[in-house]
Amino acid sequence: MDISVGRNILESNDLIAGELKATFSSRKILVLNLISSPGAGKTTLLECTLRALKPEFKMAVVEGDLMTDNDARRVAATGVPVVQINTEGGCHLDSSMVRKAIGKLNLEGLDILFVENVGNLVCPVEFDLGEDYMVALLSVAEGDDKPEKYPQLFSKSKVMVLNKIDLLPYVDFDLERASRFARTLNRDLDIYRVSCRTGQGLDAWYDWLRKSVTAKKIGV
């Protein structure tokens, strides 16, 4: 009985996700699902990215959180449209939530839609949101064995962003070990080492976004 219920939930989610994917594809919108533990720096990465690329692209954000609109207000301060989703205790976003949220956005001419998922390395991975790619964010304030302990996220992601590298002198985190674990799961994973505080490494992340937008536009 429990397996059947779980299957029905995922089947319903996948059906709506397919509709979303068709909508985004027809409009050539690059959609990224950002997933990390709480405090890894998703919102800060978004703030940096939105400010840096706003002259080049039309962007919007769907902001997921259990409670409050704290992160949505930070994103809105960049001047980019944002829609808040409060799950009120739920550990992930699902496709029906995203479908409702994008109804409040103007998708005309949109280049990139960022979905900042609820801080969790497990549940969000199960729920397709119609995105092109998952982006796994890992900070050096966490364990370097996270890819080994939470393999599904890193095996399904297109990109791993290793954030807060300015803290490396003060924490016990091995960048090579974390990258090796992740690449063992996903040999095609793109890895970017960044510090949102200092700006180190962010240009490479921005270049990946530029290339991904171009690929989406030409249908590659």
pLDDT in tens, 68-124: 999 999 999 999 999 999 998 889 999 999 999 999 999 999 999 999 999 999 999
Q: Which domains are present in the chain?
A: 2-218 (3.40.50.300)
Sheet holding 30-36, edge to edge: 82-86, 59-65, 112-116, 30-36, 133-139, 159-163, 190-193
Q: Residue range 185-209: average pLDDT?
A: 98
The count of C-alpha atoms lying within 13 angstroms of the C-alpha of 31, restricted to the half-sphere facing its C-beta, is 24
Phi, psi of 112 (to 5 degrees): -135, 130
Q: Tell me the C-alpha distance between 189 and 215, whole Å.
A: 17
Contact, 44 vs 139, CB < 8 A? no
